[in-house]
Amino acid sequence: MERMPTFLLRPLPAALEPLAVLALNLRWTWSHAGDVLWRRVNPEIWDRTQNPWVTLQESSQLRLNQLAQDPAFQGELRRLQAEHQQYLDDPAWFGQVHAGAGPRRIAYFSMEFGLGESLPLYAGGLGVLAGDYLKTASDLGVPVVGVGLLYQEGYSRQVLGAAGRPQDLFPYNDPTSLPLVPALDSTGDWLRVRLDLPGRRGTAWWRPGRRLCSSQPSATGRCSWRTTILPSPRSWCRGWTCGSIPLAGPGKPAAPAG
């Protein structure tokens, strides 16, 4: 199985490296064939989060070493690997019907994609609908490329304060806690994209995974705010300089550009 650059806080035992690949393919947000395996990694964390990436991040090194030596666990992992590879190799409906005659890529622009709670980059129904389009495209093999935003804080969470009044909270989306990987250029560096903005020129990065963001180490303050908060009635003017190119749907890679 292909090895992928990750943001895991520590290396996995060699026998468990395929877990990172499975966790970074968001097909688990709608296909639950691997739920039993992920729960075996750490039942407490899995029951609390239902998030493979967080389950890997928060499991102890001792537990991971135990799983690397567990024959039953390794057998189930090999089964999921084979199923995962079969899914990626399957031409599905689009490949069978069009057999290379259709479009190589179809761009789908949206301000939010609701692929799952592990990527809190959506506010409601329309974002969930956009995510469902990507999931369906993945299962059908349609080479849809979603173009969206990686928000630092995303949509607000509303809670009741001590006085009983609603308050908006904006949890920070730490890239190391999200199931994302950086897009790299031919030199192995993070892929950067030049942005010709009114009156000046900026640079954005293909931030971890599929979404472009101006908030990178070299960004200036006046650029990085643009992808901070998901547009809402009070923040509608934010977030217009960055985008993303995910996989063809969150499960299958898009065909290479040719």
Please report, in tens digits, the pLDDT of each residue of the chain (258 residues total): 444 445 566 789 999 999 999 999 999 999 999 999 999 999 999 999 999 999 999 999 999 999 999 999 999 999 999 999 999 999 999 999 998 788 888 989 888 899 988 888 888 788 999 999 999 999 999 999 888 878 877 677 788 988 999 988 877 777 778 888 777 778 887 777 777 767 766 655 554 334 444 444 444 444 444 456 565 544 333 332 333 333 334 566 544 333
- State the pLDDT at residue 178: 84
Check if the beta carbon of residue 226 is closer than 8 Å to that of residue 152: no
Cα gap 61→206, rounded to integer Å: 30
Place of tokens 């190589």: 104
Same domain? For 85 and 104 the reply is: no
Same domain? For 207 and 111 the reply is: yes
- The number of distinct structural domains making up the chain is 2
**Is 50 contained in some domain?**
yes
Same domain? For 115 and 53 the reply is: no
**Is 107 contained in some domain?**
yes
Cα gap 153→43, rounded to integer Å: 28
Domain edge (last residue) among 61, 89, 117: 89
**Is 34 contained in some domain?**
yes
Cα gap 79→62, rounded to integer Å: 24
**Is 78 contained in some domain?**
yes
Domain edge (last residue) among 89, 112, 135: 89
Same domain? For 84 and 194 the reply is: no
Output the average pLDDT for the chain. 77
Nearest Cα residue to 147 out of 200, 213, 228, 51: 213
- Two tokens, residue 138: 């993945």
**Is 246 contained in some domain?**
no
Same domain? For 42 and 110 the reply is: no
**Is 125 contained in some domain?**
yes
Same domain? For 219 and 149 the reply is: yes
Strand-strand pairing, 144-147 and 106-109: parallel
Same domain? For 110 and 196 the reply is: yes
- State the pLDDT at residue 231: 56
Same domain? For 47 and 149 the reply is: no
- Two tokens, residue 56: 């890997």
Domain edge (last residue) among 89, 114, 131: 89
**Is 235 contained in some domain?**
no
- State the pLDDT at residue 238: 31
Same domain? For 213 and 126 the reply is: yes
Same domain? For 27 and 104 the reply is: no
Same domain? For 111 and 63 the reply is: no
Domain that holds residue 81: 14-89
Check if the beta carbon of residue 53 is closer than 8 Å to that of residue 23: yes
**Is 249 contained in some domain?**
no
Q: Which amino acid is at 194?
A: R
Same domain? For 136 and 42 the reply is: no
Q: What pTM, to 2 d.p., does this model score?
A: 0.76
